[in-house]
Amino acid sequence: MAAPDHPGGLNAILRSLIEAKVNIDAMYPFIYLKGDEAILILDVDKIKEAKEVLKKHWVRTYAKEIFKS
């Protein structure tokens, strides 16, 4: 997923997942910027619900394409 790279950007994402009762098991920073977005890898207990919540809050998610050069 891509987090807005500004103060409070991560808070907006985590708050929306917490409110949707999606548990975050692990979070890994991915040392890469895509434009003005910071890339994070999340391990969550409800993947489908997390993707829906993030999409609703205008957070871009990525899959395998992030690893292509």
Q: How many domains does the chain have?
A: 1
pTM of the complete model = 0.71
30, 48, 53, 60 from 33: Cα distances, Å: 8, 25, 22, 13
Question: Quick check: helix, strand or coil at residue 25?
Answer: strand
**pLDDT band per the 50, 70, 90 thresholds, residue 61:** confident
- The single residue listed with the structure tokens 């409110």 is 19
**pLDDT band per the 50, 70, 90 thresholds, residue 66:** low
R_g of the chain computed on alpha carbons: 11
Give me the domain span that covers residue 14.
2-67
| Contact (Cβ atoms closer than 8 angstroms) between residue 53 and residue 26 | no
13, 16, 34, 43 from 67: Cα distances, Å: 22, 26, 12, 17
Q: Convert the pLDDT of each residue in 25-60 to its tens digit.
A: 998 877 666 666 677 888 999 999 998 998 888 787
> In this structure, what CATH number is given to the domain that contains residue 19?
3.30.70.260
Give the model's pLDDT for residue 35.
Answer: 66
Answer with the residue of higher pLDDT: 19 or 63.
Answer: 19
Give the model's pLDDT for residue 28.
Answer: 86
